[in-house]
């Protein structure tokens, strides 16, 4: 035994010498940096909280990658002087408790300057207070529940809830009634049936829509729910068909809405289906959305907006495909709002904790033209971009039919 | 200390090569630590721990994984030549540790650095650290088999009580340090692009060390010692848990995660009564936690609460527990007739009914899909639980008071569980679990006992739910879905059914693992699924099987499992 | 009246799909007393397998439904069988003698793993994928009732395969071995039955049925997604329990009952479609309380 070990020790000693002679780069370089910009002051992080796993991950990944695109462009353009920006995306699994953990993780990092997210309004409820305590601005690309910014009595007694919370998307109390006006007044659909997926987004939208339908003299003939994971809607459709509605309003997102529309048609219920920005996506048509279906979306039509086209092209160039999903453009704008405010806050100086108040104010004051139109926030943190457009499926494409603002 | 001769009876082709391989493995391990690991700086920044450097440039500044590799190499050498009990096991465990550390680092560098050049030679620079480390690890594993996998070492000497106390104190202190180190490896912030690799590498190192300690017999010895001085151990463990905020892991993020773990651990202990003791499979258990949370939310004075007034938290928590308990008894009532897996589906049905009803705002109590937000944080003597907190000169992170509250809650539920388990009721439950008909024949009123199990289990869950409501500030039906029930059940089974520390360990694992796996982004849940499969494959009785249960499975349980049981107890 | 009839027809079609999956649950449970939670994912994987087969076909074959459709069935079933066999061999078999609940956790782990693996590795699987249009289009209309041809096909396949399976299990030599293993594995072993073969075969049968269900699901609903297996799996499991686990007839009838309750209760019960699931589970609980072994299950016997 002993002999063996002596031998091996000798071998090892010899090889050590050989290897030592080979040498290597003896000092570690400073690593790569972000191109030609001055990034001497270090790295700042834009956080993203969105569902990156599970069945909502298509939307979540779209949010994440769009934010990455915005950060990349900012790095190339040296928007924030002296700093390189990165994205730290945290999965919230669409679960409020997990979202709270994700937000806490970001909030303990002194380099996180702002957070893009969340997708779900219920997750936003737990994320808001955590980020508020650290004065980190949160800009949501997708929360449409009006109470998040204006409190429970958002119509009668609006009151700002969180001074760090902003959103670039529209709210249910604009989008729902606008759709109602179009359906009842313009399209002449008096009998409307409602289907929702039972989640915050769809429920809120449908509730606001039905109030306005009644106001305009229309009638809600029925209100049904489909399960979150349901895929066979024949029961719901048969029930609604018996009520012979003129149109169906669906509160929810395109993965359910597309097949629902298709199944409606094959069950012989040939009325248009209308939905909110959650169904305004090319995938909706691919999944079975039929001719004549309607959707509302915030902002003027993208074709008329150079910034929107630029976003789509840049996204495609970076990720190879157009999977930014329903909220990608909003996320891009949200990230840009944070980056823009950061640039104004830092402005050549160094970032530190004392700048957080100024950062919050700068997000509030931010103004820019983004992929969804004008990006600016009102005194509650809501987007001032209240322009809405109604789109219709025409020859397998979404085509804008009416653009305007909701005026009551 | 008795150094048992550990060579097994089976002749192995490796037998004669055991020691030389081990020695070579150890030396190569040391060499690997000294060699550079990466040839160039990667796109995302330098690989951690100055891995492009030769050791000789800064011999005493080795940190991180290179330090781990060095240590493992030295230990392998020590184990080879020193009189160590169960040498084969020790060398094998250390070898596995070395292999995993080398593999993780080498693979990551290759993938992130774009090619094998990064870990071999390119542009005149060489970096064979990973390859050498890997070879060393594999050699050590083979050497372990060559030396022979004997029984775990046994330490038979007696020590006086004060010395035992000291040993326990030091050991548990080391556990605390290890936990804190594990939580903080890879950094808390998002700044480190290699956090995932650092964590996995650390896990490999820790696993190797633990395996070696357990092979030597140290773990078993400590475990026996703590059994002897049970009260002292519990106090020390609780104190260690309360000391966690003072370690490196004492930041807001880990306090939040730890508090959530605590909430689920308390619930898992409740579930352990139903599943582990009484043997009634429950697939909808999280509903009771949901009920508790909803009750607490409605009494919290939140804007959308059903009741317009707020009750003091202790009162609300008691009401929450009672209401959840009542529902528990109702759900438990079919057990009078329904048995086994049929019962499982009844509980699953109940869970689904709960989520559906909560989503549809049944009775106006749940606020439907909008959830009940804005539940105020708890406060005590003016100290708000979600704010940071100062003792003297030490500023503790925000959320630390929740953590303390939850440690106390878990300790209390553990006490309840322990008392029940060894009481008349507990024995009745175990009897029902083992053979319901025989239990009935012995005069146990099985129906009453089973409903009681559901009732008490649900009450604990309701209590945990009440804390959950205030901790998270929002109660939404989305937090109480089937997946959570499954996670809870997995925590109980993973930890070891009927075992008290098992449920806590299981819950901790199921919550810490996904958090540490965050850096894997897309692959995170997939790795989690794989981990569940692997753990069950190698530890089907759970990580810390209940002593009672272990006795039942004595024919099946090989001493291998026994060893790992002690291992887990240490962890 | 016509609404009721239409809802009954809808329920039968939904039940047919659930039945195909429930058979896999009930057979595996009957033999090794394992609630194979991952069975729903086998169904999901089959669906993606079928879609992948179609995508890989040359363009001229894609146009001809007569060729493409059978090939999709072959591809989907093949994927399902391979996944099921690997799952049995490497995840469940090592746990055959482990405590009863350990395989349950493994099953859940397999379920999460398969779902995530498809999501991550199948191109564009993060959102719903449309299914190719190679299935018969149009509806069968009887009076005021509309059922799509794919729905009719689903019912025919489901009932047909269940009958074949029942006959096989009752009549064939292998079927007898299966029943023997289910009743008493040890005695069956002594009688020369190879339990491993029986168990693998059971998994394969379940996978074939799930494969058929996966393809038909895509054809009937025109799109598939990664968590289609979860919900359908839960219903299938419920159906198996409702009918009495281990009973082939019970699983099929249980599945149809569930389909019917869902549509009819959604139509007529208070709360409407919001609570349709709740009624399924209420009926389930009532049945189990009054008939703890399920509708067609044998009363509990003492198992070794």
CA dihedral A220, A221, A225, A230 (to 10 degrees): -130
Rounded Cα–Cα distance for residues B451 and B335 (Å):
7
Asked if C146 contacts A268 with a C-beta cutoff of 8 angstroms, the reply is yes
- Within a domain: C288: no
- List CB contacts (< 8 A) between A230 and chain C: 231
Q: Which residues pair with A224 in a beta bridge?
A: A195
Q: Measured at the alpha carbon of residue B373, what is the angle toward residues B369 and B379, in degrees to the nearest 5?
A: 155
For residue C8, is it within any domain? no
Q: How many CB atoms lie within 10 A of CB B14?
A: 15
By Cβ distance, the residue of C120, C280, C290 closest to B526 is C120
Main-chain phi, psi angles of B467, to 5 degrees: -65, -40
Q: Does B531 touch chain C (CB under 8 A)?
A: yes
- Residue C182 above 90 pLDDT? no
Range name among A47-51, A62-66, B272-276, B541-545 with the lowest pLDDT average: B541-545
In-domain check, residue C263: no
Which chain C positions have a beta carbon within 8 Å of A323's beta carbon? 124, 126-127
What's the mean pLDDT in C15-20? 95
The two structure tokens encoding residue A382: 């809501």
- To the nearest whole angstrom, how far is the Cα of A152 from the nearest Cα of chain B? 8
- Nearest chain B CA: its distance from A401 CA (Å): 32
More confident residue, C302 or B336: B336
Any C CB within 8 A of A322 CB = no
Nearest to B252 among A53, A90, A104 (CB): A104
**B506-520, C241-255, C277-291: which range is least confident on average?**
B506-520
- How does the average pLDDT of chain C come out, rounded? 89
What is the H or E stretch that residue C146 is in? strand C145-148
What are chain B's partners, defined as 3 or more CB pairs within 8 angstroms? A, C
* Residue B459, both tokens: 């009450």
How far is residue B19's CA from residue A5's CA, in Å, rounded to a whole number?
8
Q: Tell me what pLDDT residue B43 has.
A: 66
| B310-326 residue pLDDT tens | 888 899 999 999 999 99
Q: Which of B335, B337, B349 best probes binding to C when mutated, by most C CB atoms within 10 angstroms?
A: B349
* Helix and strand counts by DSSP (H, E) for chain B: 21, 6
User: pLDDT at position C210, please?
Assistant: 96
Average model confidence (pLDDT) for chain B?
Answer: 81
Q: Do C238 and B349 touch (CB under 8 A)?
A: yes
| Any domain includes C146 | yes
Q: Does B561 touch chain C (CB under 8 A)?
A: no
- Check residue A140 and give its pLDDT: 94
* Residues B242-245: contacts with CB under 8 Å, at least 24 apart: B242/B404, B242/B407, B243/B176, B244/B176, B244/B179, B244/B180, B244/B403, B245/B396, B245/B397, B245/B400, B245/B403, B245/B404
- Distance from the Cα of A59 to chain C's closest Cα (Å) equals 8
Cβ A46 vs Cβ A88: under 8 Å: yes
Best CA proximity match to B270, nearest among B403, B413, B447 = B413
pLDDT at B554: 43
Residue C267 in contact with partner chain B when CB distance is under 8 A: no
DSSP state of B248: T
Instruction: Grade residue B231 by pLDDT with cuts at 50, 70 and 90.
Output: confident
**B83-88: average pLDDT:** 84
Q: CA B274, CA B281: separation in Å to the nearest integer?
A: 7
Instruction: Specify the pLDDT at position B484.
Output: 86
Residue C180, both tokens: 């023997």
pLDDT of B342 strictly over 90: no
Please indicate whether, in this complex, the C-beta atoms of A259 and C128 are within 8 angstroms of each other. Answer: yes
- Cα–Cα dist C98/C224, whole Å: 36
Test C292 with B339 for CB contact under 8 angstroms.
Answer: yes
d(CA C215, CA C72): 7
Query: How much is the pLDDT for B436?
Result: 85
Interval B214-240 mean pLDDT: 81
Of C98, C117, C238, the CB nearest to B526: C117
- Rounded Cα gap, residues B154 and B148, in angstroms: 17
Residue B214: pLDDT over 70: yes
pTM tops 0.80, yes or no? yes
Judged by average pLDDT, the poorest of B247-251, C168-172, C211-215 is B247-251
Look at residue B569 and tell me whether its pLDDT is greater than 80: no
Q: Measured between CB atoms, which of A23, A29, A88 is closest to B190?
A: A88
The predicted structure's pLDDT at residue B549? 58
A288–C223: do the CB atoms touch at under 8 Å?
Answer: yes
Relative orientation angle of helices B524-538 and B482-495, to the nearest 10 degrees: 40
> For chain C, what is the domain count?
1
Domain assignment of residue C123, given as a range = 19-227
Q: Which of B536, B543, B544 is the best residue to mutate to test the C interface, defined by the most C CB atoms within 10 Å of its own CB? A: B536
For residue B557, pLDDT beyond 50: no
pLDDT of the residue at C218:
92
Hey, which of B478-492, C25-39, C247-261 has the most confident mean pLDDT? C247-261
CB atoms within 10 A of CB B464: 30
A122 touches chain B (CB under 8 A): yes
Residue to test with chain A: of B44, B143, B472, B510, most A Cβ within 10 A: B472
Instruction: Return the residue of B nearest to C241 by Cα.
Output: B342
A4, A24, A198 ranked by CB distance to B369: nearest = A198
Q: What is the pLDDT of residues C52-102, one digit of tens each?
A: 999 999 988 888 888 899 999 999 999 999 999 999 999 999 988 887 778
CATH topology of domain B250-504: ABC transporter involved in vitamin B12 uptake, BtuC (1.10.3470)
Which residues of C fall within a CB distance of 8 Å from A58? 126-127
**Local confidence pLDDT in tens for the 408 residues of chain A:** 444 544 555 554 444 444 443 434 444 544 444 456 777 888 899 999 998 877 778 888 899 999 999 999 999 988 888 898 989 888 888 888 889 888 988 988 888 999 998 998 888 988 998 899 889 999 999 888 888 999 888 888 888 889 999 999 888 889 999 999 999 999 999 999 999 988 888 888 999 999 999 999 999 999 998 887 788 898 999 999 999 999 999 998 888 899 999 999 988 899 999 999 888 888 889 888 899 999 998 877 766 778 888 998 999 999 888 778 778 889 999 999 999 999 999 888 888 888 999 999 999 999 988 888 889 999 999 998 888 899 999 998 889 899 888 887
Asked whether residue C60 is domain-assigned, the answer is yes
Tell me how far apart the alpha carbons of residues B223 and B60 are, in angstroms, rounded to a whole number.
35
Inter-residue contact C244 to C298 (CB < 8 Å)? yes
Judge: A101–B53 Cβ closer than 8 Å, yes or no. Answer: no
CA atoms within 13 A on the CB side of A337: 41
Query: Which pair of tokens denotes residue B215?
Result: 């092979």
Query: Distance (Å, rounded) from C-alpha B324 to C-alpha A199?
Result: 25
Q: Chain C residues with CB inside 8 Å of A288's CB?
A: 130, 222-223
Q: Kindly give the pairing relationship between strand A43-50 and strand A112-117.
A: parallel
Question: Strands C139-142 and C145-148, how do they pair?
Answer: antiparallel
pLDDT digits (tens, 9 = 90+) for B161-209: 888 888 888 888 888 888 888 777 766 555 567 777 888 888 889 888 8
What's the confidence (pLDDT) of residue B420? 87
| Residues of chain C above pLDDT 70, percent | 98
Count of CB atoms situated within 10 Å of the CB of A306: 10
Please check the confidence at residue C302 and state whether its pLDDT lies above 50.
no
CA B367 to chain centre: 35
Question: What pLDDT, in 10s, does the model give residues C56-67?
Answer: 999 888 888 888
Whether B146 shows a pLDDT value over 50: the answer reads yes
The CATH code for residues A43-169+327-377 is 3.40.50.2300
Q: C50 vs chain A: nearest CA distance in angstroms? A: 17
Residue C30 pLDDT level (bands cut at 50, 70, 90): confident
Average pLDDT score over residue span C125-136: 87
CA gap B94, B75 in Å, rounded: 8
Task: Tell me whether the omega of the peptide bond preceding residue A129 falls within 30 degrees of 0, making it cis.
Answer: no
* CB contacts, 8 Å: B556 with chain C: 97
- Closest residue in A to B58 (Cα–Cα): A26
Separation CA A115–CA A64 (nearest Å) = 11
The average pLDDT across B514-519 equals 74
The answer to whether A109 faces chain B, any CB pair under 8 Å, is yes
Among the partner-chain residues A53, A107, A125, the one whose CB lies closest to the CB of B252 is A107
A121 contacts B368? CB cut-off 8 A: no
User: Would you call A230 and C231 a contact, using CB atoms and an 8 Å cutoff?
Assistant: yes
Contact C293/B at CB under 8 A: yes
Q: Is A147 on the interface with B (CB under 8 A)?
A: yes
Residues from chain C contacting residue A61 (CB–CB below 8 Å): 126
Looking at residue C300, its pLDDT comes to 53
Specify the pLDDT at position A183: 93
pLDDT on residue A3: 46
The reported pLDDT for the residue numbered A73 is 93
Going by the DSSP 8-state scheme, the letter that residue C113 receives in this structure is H
Buried b / exposed e over B270-279, threshold 16 CB at 10 Å, is bbbbbbbbbb
Inter-residue contact C79 to C49 (CB < 8 Å): yes
**C-alpha angle with apex C164: C163 to C165, nearest 5 degrees?**
90
| E strand or H helix that includes residue A193 | strand A191-196
Report which secondary-structure segment, H or E, holds B506. helix B500-516
The tokens describing C196, both together, are 């491993």
Q: Nearest chain A residue to C218 by CA: give it.
A: A231
Give the one of B31, B52, B397 whose C-beta lies nearest to A16's C-beta: B31
Which of chain A's residues have a Cβ under 8 Å away from the Cβ of B57? 26
Tell me if B346 and C288 make a contact (CB, 8 A cut-off). yes
Confidence (pLDDT) at C96: 85
Q: Do B191 and A111 touch (CB under 8 A)?
A: yes
Q: Which residue has the higher pLDDT, B318 or B15?
A: B318
Q: Does A263 touch chain C (CB under 8 A)?
A: yes
pLDDT, one tens digit per residue, over B31-66 is 888 888 887 777 666 777 777 666 666 666 667 788
Inter-chain CB proximity C221 and A255 less than 8 Å: no
What does the DSSP assignment read for A104-170? HHHHT-TTEEEEEE-SSHHHHHHHHHHHHHTT--EEESS---THHHH-TTTTTS-----TTEEESS-
Q: What is the spatial distance between Cα A255 and Cα A271, in angstroms, rounded to a whole number? A: 19
Q: Is C145 on the interface with B (CB under 8 A)?
A: no
- Superfamily covering domain A173-300+389-405: Response regulator (3.40.50.2300)
Q: Confirm if B542 and B502 have CB atoms less than 8 A apart.
A: yes
Structural domain contains residue C256: no
pLDDT value at position B57?
A: 62
pLDDT band at B437 (very low <50, low <70, confident <90, very high): confident
pLDDT at B550: 55
Contacts of A18 in chain B (CB under 8 A): none
Domain ranges for chain A, please list them: 43-169+327-377, 173-300+389-405
C116/B553 touch (CB, cutoff 8 Å), yes or no: no
Residue among A230, A238, A286 minimizing CB distance to C10: A238
Asked, colleague to colleague, whether A43-169+327-377 and A173-300+389-405 share their fold, the answer is yes
Q: How far is A87 from chain B (nearest CA, A)?
A: 9
* pLDDT given for residue B60 in this prediction: 61
Could you tell me where the DSSP H helices lie in B46-190? 64-81, 87-113, 129-147, 161-184
Rounded to an integer, the average pLDDT of B99-127 is 80
């Amino acid at each position: 035994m002993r002999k063996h070990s002596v031998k091996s020790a000798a071998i090892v000693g010899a090889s050590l010498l050989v290897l030592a002679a080979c040498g290597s780069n003896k000092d570690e370089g400073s690593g790569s940096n972000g191109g030609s910009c001055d990034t001497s002051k270090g790295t700042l992080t834009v956080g993203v909280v969105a569902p990156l796993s599970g069945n909502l991950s298509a939307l979540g990944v779209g949010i994440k990658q769009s934010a990455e695109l915005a950060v990349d462009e900012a790095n190339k353009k040296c928007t924030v002087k002296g700093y390189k920006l990165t994205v730290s995306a945290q999965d919230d699994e669409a679960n409020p408790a997990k979202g709270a953990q994700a937000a806490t993780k970001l909030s303990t990092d002194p380099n996180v300057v702002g957070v893009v997210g969340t997708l779900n309004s219920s997750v936003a409820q737990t994320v808001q207070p955590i980020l508020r305590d650290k004065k980190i601005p949160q800009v949501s690309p997708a929360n449409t529940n009006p109470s998040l910014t204006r409190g429970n009595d958002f119509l009668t007694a609006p009151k700002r809830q969180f001074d760090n919370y902003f959103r670039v998307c529209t709210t249910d109390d604009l989008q729902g009634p606008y759709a109602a006006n179009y359906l009842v007044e313009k399209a002449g659909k008096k009998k409307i049936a409602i289907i929702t997926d039972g989640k915050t987004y769809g429920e809120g939208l449908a509730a606001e829509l039905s109030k306005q339908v009644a106001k305009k003299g229309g009638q809600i003939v029925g209100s049904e729910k489909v399960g979150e994971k349901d895929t066979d809607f024949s029961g719901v459709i048969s029930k609604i068909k018996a009520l012979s509605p003129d149109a169906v309003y669906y509160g929810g997102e395109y993965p359910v809405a597309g097949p629902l529309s298709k199944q409606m048609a094959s069950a012989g219920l040939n009325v248009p289906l209308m939905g909110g920005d959650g169904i305004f996506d090319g995938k909706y048509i691919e999944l079975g959305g039929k001719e004549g279906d309607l959707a509302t979306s915030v902002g003027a039509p993208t074709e008329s907006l150079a910034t929107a086209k630029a976003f789509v092209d840049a996204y495609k160039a970076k990720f190879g495909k157009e999977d930014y999903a329903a909220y990608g453009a909003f996320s891009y704008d949200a990230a840009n709002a944070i980056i823009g405010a950061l640039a104004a806050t830092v402005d050549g100086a160094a970032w530190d904790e004392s700048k957080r108040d100024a950062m919050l104010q700068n997000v509030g004051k931010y103004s820019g033209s983004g992929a969804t139109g004008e990006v600016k926030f009102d005194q509650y943190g809501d987007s001032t971009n209240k322009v809405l457009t109604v789109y219709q499926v025409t020859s397998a494409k979404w085509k804008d039919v009416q653009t305007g603002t909701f005026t009551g | 200390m008795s150094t048992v001769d550990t060579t097994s009876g089976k002749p192995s082709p490796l037998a004669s090569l055991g020691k030389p391989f081990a020695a070579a493995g150890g030396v190569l391990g040391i060499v690997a630590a000294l060699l550079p690991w990466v040839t160039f700086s990667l796109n995302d920044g330098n690989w951690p721990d100055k891995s492009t450097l030769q050791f000789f440039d800064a011999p005493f500044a080795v940190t991180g994984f290179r330090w781990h590799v060095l240590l493992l190499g030295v230990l392998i050498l020590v184990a080879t030549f020193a009189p160590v009990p169960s040498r084969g096991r020790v060398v094998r465990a250390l070898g596995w540790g070395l292999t995993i550390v080398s593999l993780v680092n080498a693979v990551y560098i290759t993938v992130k650095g774009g090619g094998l050049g990064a870990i071999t030679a390119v542009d005149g620079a060489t970096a064979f650290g990973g390859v050498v480390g890997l070879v060393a690890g594999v050699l050590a594993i083979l050497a372990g088999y060559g030396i022979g996998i004997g029984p775990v070492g046994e330490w038979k000497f007696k020590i006086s009580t004060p010395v035992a106390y000291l040993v326990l104190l030091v050991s548990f202190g080391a556990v605390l340090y290890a936990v804190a180190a594990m939580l903080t490896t890879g950094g808390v912030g998002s700044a480190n692009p290699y956090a995932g690799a650092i964590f996995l590498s650390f896990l490999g190192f820790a696993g190797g060390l633990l395996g070696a300690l357990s092979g030597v017999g140290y773990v078993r010895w400590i475990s026996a010692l703590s059994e002897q001085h049970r009260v002292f151990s519990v106090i020390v463990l609780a104190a260690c848990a309360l000391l966690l905020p003072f370690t490196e892991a004492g930041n807001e993020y880990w306090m939040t995660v730890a508090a959530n773990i605590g909430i689920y651990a308390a619930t898992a202990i409740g579930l352990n009564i139903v599943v582990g003791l009484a043997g009634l499979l429950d697939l909808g258990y999280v509903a009771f936690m949901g009920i508790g949370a909803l009750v607490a939310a409605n009494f919290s004075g939140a804007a959308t609460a059903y009741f317009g007034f707020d009750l003091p938290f202790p009162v609300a928590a008691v009401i929450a527990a009672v209401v959840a308990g009542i529902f528990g008894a109702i759900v438990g009532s079919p057990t009078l007739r329904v048995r086994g897996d049929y019962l499982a589906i009844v509980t699953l049905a109940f869970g689904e009914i709960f989520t559906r009803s909560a989503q549809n705002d049944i009775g106006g109590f749940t606020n439907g899909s909008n959830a009940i937000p804005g539940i105020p944080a708890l406060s005590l003597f003016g100290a708000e639980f979600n704010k940071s907190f100062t003792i003297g000169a030490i500023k503790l992170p925000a959320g630390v008071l929740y953590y303390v509250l939850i440690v106390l809650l878990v300790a209390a539920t553990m006490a309840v569980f322990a008392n029940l388990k060894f009481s008349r009721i507990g024995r009745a439950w175990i009897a029902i679990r083992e053979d319901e008909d025989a239990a009935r024949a012995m005069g146990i009123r099985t129906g009453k006992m089973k409903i009681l199990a559901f009732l008490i289990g649900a009450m604990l869950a309701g209590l945990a739910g009440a804390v959950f409501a205030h901790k998270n500030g929002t109660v939404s039906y989305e937090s109480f879905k089937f997946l959570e029930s499954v996670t809870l059940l997995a925590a109980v089974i993973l930890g070891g059914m009927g075992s008290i520390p098992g449920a806590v360990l299981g819950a901790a694992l199921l919550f810490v693992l996904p958090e540490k796996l965050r850096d894997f982004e897309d692959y995170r849940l997939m790795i989690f699924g794989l981990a569940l499969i692997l753990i069950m494959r190698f530890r089907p009785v759970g990580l810390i099987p209940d002593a009672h249960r272990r006795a039942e499975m004595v024919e099946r349980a090989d001493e291998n499992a026994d060893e790992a049981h002690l291992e887990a107890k240490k962890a | 009246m016509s609404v009721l009839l239409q809802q009954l027809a809808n329920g039968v079609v939904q039940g047919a799909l659930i039945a195909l999956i429930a058979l896999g649950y009930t057979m595996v449970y009957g033999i090794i007393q394992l609630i194979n939670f991952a069975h729903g994912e086998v169904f999901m994987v089959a669906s993606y397998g079928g879609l992948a087969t179609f995508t890989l076909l040359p363009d001229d074959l894609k146009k001809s439904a007569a060729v493409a459709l059978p090939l999709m069935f072959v591809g989907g079933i093949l994927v399902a069988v391979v996944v099921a066999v690997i799952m049995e061999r490497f995840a469940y078999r090592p746990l055959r003698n482990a405590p009863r609940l350990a395989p349950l956790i493994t099953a859940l782990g397999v379920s999460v793993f398969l779902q995530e693996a498809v999501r991550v590795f199948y191109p564009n699987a993060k959102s719903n994928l449309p299914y190719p249009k190679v299935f018969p289009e149009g509806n069968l209309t009887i009076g005021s009732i509309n059922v799509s041809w794919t729905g009719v096909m689903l019912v025919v396949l489901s009932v047909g395969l269940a009958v074949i399976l029942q006959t096989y299990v009752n009549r064939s030599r292998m079927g007898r071995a299966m029943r023997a293993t289910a009743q008493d594995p040890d005695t069956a072993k002594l009688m020369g039955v190879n339990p491993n073969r029986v168990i693998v075969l059971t998994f394969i049968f379940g996978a074939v049925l799930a494969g058929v269900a996966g393809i038909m699901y895509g054809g009937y609903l025109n799109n598939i997604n990664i968590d289609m297996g979860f919900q359908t799996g839960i219903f299938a499991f419920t159906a198996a329990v409702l009918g009495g686990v281990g009973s082939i007839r019970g699983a099929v009838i249980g599945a149809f009952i569930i389909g019917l309750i869902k549509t009819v209760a959604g139509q007529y019960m208070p709360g409407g479609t919001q609570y349709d699931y709740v009624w399924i589970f209420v009926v389930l609980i009532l049945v189990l309380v009054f008939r703890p072994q399920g509708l067609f299950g044998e009363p509990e016997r003492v198992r070794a």
